[in-house]
Each structure stands twice: as structure tokens, then as C-alpha cells.
Amino acid sequence: MAFKVTFIGAGSIGFTRKLLQDLLSVPEFNNIQVAFTDINENNLDMVTKLCQKDIDANGLDIKIFATCNRREAIKDADYVINVVRIGGLEAFKPDVEIPMKYGISQCVGDTLCAGGIMYAQRGIPAILEFCKDIREVAHPDCIMLNYSNPNAMITWACNKYGKVKTIGLCHGVQHGHEQMGEALGIPFEELDIICAGINHQTWYIQVNHNGEDMKDKLLEAYENHPKLSQAEKVRIDMLRRFGYYSTESNGHLSEYLPWYRKRLDEIENWIGHELWNQGIYAGYLNECIRTRDSFETDFPKWINEPAKVYKQENRSNEHGSYIIEGLETGRIYRGHFNIVNNGTITNLPDDAIVEVPGYVDANGINIPKVGDLPLGCAAVCNSSISVQRLGVEAAVHGDDKLLRQAMMVDPLVGAVCNPPEIWQMVDEMLVAEEKWLPQYAQTIEQIKKNNK
């Protein structure tokens, strides 16, 4: 079975090696073509060496084509896997640090809130260039699997403006599924779940065990769990007040809502400190810095460790390889994917990107109709969708007024800051991130003149 998969942003060790291992654990995929591309030649070289070592150790006759020429890597690709972070940590740092000057404490800052909105301003124009390359030199039916955040906004822009079929992928549903099993004391494989909502705000609307509805047992299970009751205070409170558990970690979820981080002296009431994703300020940024700093020093150790073994039981729960397996072999796969709504969730806007159940086989990616979300859950999602829509249009058109409106409409930014503060914060963030924001060049020059 021959087809080509291209990884953009392949210098990311965390995703690239794992996703490639997943893919090459499929027996039929022992002679596929693999291309890596990244703007960081050094990281690209290190990751390529690690992955090629794995391939050789597993006896496969595959030679990775690695290049900093993105267009060459994309040429004739059937699938493109996007794992980029535009601007890297240099750009990400002001996403987190500047809002904190205004009282906006973010644990992550890559999906919504001030950081997530700016993340989209950098990412969308660059990824639309990827789409242009895909349209022009990839296989005509090429599908992009997007892992980059802000997942919903990037997937939205790629489908609407990039004109490339793009599926957004995330592991929040899978991780929450496993966690619910821990809370209930049931092997998670025995829990039949259905989630629906938007990325990082997806709700477990069905949780069954042997035909029994377990949703009403979740709150008591979490409240009585010695570890989770302390680590997931925001998620538990949302479950208590809205009736449904949300997919994303405590730290992520806390910054998408107006209630839990708006007073700096109360944040400690809602977060944990055992792991970065439990809500501590700049938790994700600091974790990424730690990982980056260890990359080069750990590379000699990794290259001398035993190779990854390509076996079914070693595959991760990331959706990407299973989608490609379903499309290429016809094996049926059920997962949760981010797609253009188009009536799938009937009380969310049709143009929004929603995260919903899907089935994959040789006939394609098939999405069943979900119907209405519970009203409260839909209300939470709709608030975020308005931010996403404004953020996408601002990024595509370089419209700083829409950008400022996205910040104002954002639940946490709006809960903390007044309009003049938001305007000033946006000015600071635009100037700080100027080199990654070509669409705002005139606006940034005007801001600089005004501040002389």
C-alpha cells in the first residue's frame, strides 16, 4: 500500500516521533512515503535521525525525505499532518506575560483568552500558505490533519479560506475518557462515551457502562476521589452547575470561562499544583521551555536508547494514524474529530468548528447528526464561538478592530479588563509580536507613532 504523508513542523519531537510510530505500526503501511519539513534545520535533523533509527530497527524499507523546503515536502502528498507553532516559544512568551500585566492569568494561553487569540493571528496566515502549497502541489484529494492550536480557529480558517479539507485532532476526549474511568473505578474501555461541543469545551453527553447511564454518578465520584477532587476543581464545579463533564484539563478550562480566574487572589481556590495543567500561571509555557531546553542535551541519550517498536499495542490514542488506516484499509474507526458544523450540532452555528463523533472507513469520514447540545453547554460554547469567528476574520484580513473586539468578547479578558485596558494590551501584544504578524504591519507602525 503506497501513499505519501508529510509532517509540517516535524522538528517537534513530542508529536512527530509518536505519530510516525502510530502510523508505521499498521502492517499495510510498510512501504509508504514519509516527508518531514521544518524551518529549524537543526531540530529537523535530530528528529529525522531518531525516526529513521526507529524505521531501520523495525526492518522497514522507508527513507524519510527531510527538507526545509516545505513545497518540496508537500509535493504529491496524500496526507499532511500539521504540528507547527508559529513563532515558537519566543512568540508564545508575550502571549502569556503581557496579559498578566493587566491581571489576566493564563495557565496555557493557546486556545482562547488573550494568548489563544494572538496565537491564531500568527498561525492562520502561515497555515493558509501551507494550504496554498497543498492546493497547488499535493495530491488533489489531500487531507490535512491539524494538531496545531488554536485548533478550532486554524481548522476554521483552513476549511473556509484555505480551501483544503482539514480535520482538527486533539486528545482531550481520550484523556478525559480515561480519567472518568479512574474516577468511577471502571476500566475506561468499558465506558461508552459520546462527546459534543467545540475543541477544549467538548461535553460528555453520554457515559454508559453495560447499558447503565453513569452521568449522574460522575459528580459524587469526582468529589470523593482523593486525587481528582483536588486536581480538577474547575471541571468538577462546571459538572456541578451545568450537569456535564468537560473534556479539557483544569488549567485549560479555567481560562475559557469568566468565573474562575478573574480575581488573582481567588485563583488558588480553583487550581492544583501537582502538574502544570492543573491551573498554575504560565504552566504550559514553563513546561514547553523545560522541554525545549532539554532537547539538545537529551538527544545523545535518545539516539543511543533502544528504538521504538512498531506494534499495534504500542500505538498511542492519537486519532491521526487511525483515520489514515480507516481511509486506506477500510477498517472502521470511531473517534471524535473537529469539523465544520453544517448542522451536526443543531443549536451551534453552522460555520463553527465543532468536536463530534465520527466514523472512518474506505468510504470516507462520516459524521452522524448530534442534534441539540444541552442549553447551558451550548451557551458556553456559543460565547467561545463568537471569539473564534472574530479571531479568524481578524487574522485573515489583518483587521485590528476585529482583533480588539475578539478580545473584548472573550469571557476571561472581558471579565478582567475594561475597554481602554484591552485596547492598550492589544497594542502591546501587536508590537511585541510584530515579526510574526505581517498582516498588521500598518497598524503596528501607527501604534509606534502614537506612542512616541
C-alpha cell at 155: 481548522
Q: Compute the Cα dihedral for 44, 45, 48, 54 and give only its sign.
A: negative
DSSP symbol at 276: G
Task: Determine the 3-state secondary structure of 198 from DSSP.
Answer: strand
Q: Which of 171, 175, 209, 359 is catalytic?
A: 171
Angle subtended at Cα 124 by Cα 144 and Cα 355, rounded to the nearest 5 degrees: 55
Nearest in space to 437 (alpha carbons), one of 395, 402, 403, 393: 395
Annotated catalytic, 256?
A: yes
Active site residue 171: yes
How many Cβ atoms sit within 10 Å of the Cβ of residue 439?
Answer: 17
Alpha helices in 138-264 (DSSP H): 151-160, 172-184, 215-223, 228-231, 233-242, 250-254
Say which of 256, 260, 310, 322 is annotated catalytic.
256
Cα–Cα dist 450/452, whole Å: 6
Nearest-angstrom CA–CA distance, 379 and 116: 20
Residues 6+ apart with CB under 8 A from 340: 156, 159, 350, 351, 352, 353, 354
Residue 343 φ/ψ region, left for φ over 0, alpha for ψ in the -120 to 50 degree band, beta for the rest:
left
List, by residue number, the catalytic residues: 171, 256
